[in-house]
Structure 1
Amino acid sequence: MQEIIRSKDNQKIKTLRKLKQKKFRVKTGQFLIEGQHLIDEALSCHQTIETVIIAENYTGKTTYPSQTITVSDAVMETLSSLETPPGIMAVIQYVPKESKNERVLMLENIQDPGNMGTLIRSAAAFSFDTIYVSENSVDVFSDKVLRSTQGALFHVNVETANLLDMVKSFEGRVYVTALQDATSIDSVKTNEDSVAVVLGNEGSGVSDDLLSFVENRLKIDMAPNIESLNVAIAGSIIMHHFKRE
Structure 2
Amino acid sequence: MVEPKYITSKDNPRVKEMKKLQSKKYRRKLDQFLIEGAHLIEEAIAHGQKVQSLVFLEDYDHGEYDAHGIETFIVNEGVMKTLSSLETPPGIMAVVSYVPPETAGRRVLLLDGIQDPGNLGTLLRTADAFGFDRVILSRDTVDAFSDKVLRSAQGSTFHIDITTMDAAEAVQQFDGAVFATDLEGATPLDAVEAQAPLMVILGNEGRGVSEMVLAQVERKIKIEMPGASESLNVAIAGGIIMHHFKA
> TM (normalized to structure 1)?
0.96
Once superposed, which parts of structure 1, at least 4 consecutive aligned residues long, lie more than 6 Å away? none
- Matching of residue 193 in structure 1 with residue 166 in structure 2: no
TM-superposed CA distance for 1:223, in Å, is: 1.6
Tell me, what secondary structure is at the counterpart of 1:26? helix
Residues 79-107 of structure 1 show CA distances to partners (whole Å, capped at 9, x for unaligned) of 00000000000011110111222110000
217, 240, 245: which one aligns with 1:242? 245
TM-superposed CA distance for 1:57, in Å, is: 2.6
1:27 and 1:157 map into 2 onto residues whose CA distance is 20
TM-superposed CA distance for 1:51, in Å, is: 0.3
- For structure 1, which runs of at least 5 residues remain unmatched after alignment? none
Aligned residue pair count: 243
Residues 9, 79 of structure 2: 8 Å contact kept: yes
2:45 and 2:4 map into 1 onto residues whose CA distance is 23
Q: 2:180 maps to which residue?
A: 176
Residues 57, 73 of structure 1: 8 Å contact kept: no
Cα RMSD after superposing both structures: 1.2
Q: 2:141 maps to which residue?
A: 137
Tell me, what secondary structure is at the counterpart of 2:74? strand
219, 224, 243: which one aligns with 2:222? 219
Aligned partner letter, 2:44: A
TM-superposed CA distance for 1:62, in Å, is: 4.7
Q: 2:56 maps to which residue?
A: 54
- Matching of residue 163 in structure 1 with residue 170 in structure 2: no
Identity of aligned residues (%): 51
TM-superposed CA distance for 1:4, in Å, is: 2.3
Aligned partner letter, 2:233: N
Tell me, what secondary structure is at the counterpart of 1:106? strand
Residues 35, 88 of structure 1: 8 Å contact kept: yes
Q: 1:45 maps to which residue?
A: 47
TM-superposed CA distance for 1:3, in Å, is: 4.5
Tell me, what secondary structure is at the counterpart of 2:54? strand
Residues 35, 147 of structure 2: 8 Å contact kept: yes
Residues 4, 71 of structure 2: 8 Å contact kept: no
Tell me, what secondary structure is at the counterpart of 2:22? coil
1:176 and 1:193 map into 2 onto residues whose CA distance is 15
1:69 and 1:225 map into 2 onto residues whose CA distance is 54
- Matching of residue 20 in structure 1 with residue 25 in structure 2: no
Q: 1:7 maps to which residue?
A: 9
Tell me, what secondary structure is at the counterpart of 1:19? helix
> TM (normalized to structure 2)?
0.95
2:161 and 2:65 map into 1 onto residues whose CA distance is 29
Q: 2:234 maps to which residue?
A: 231
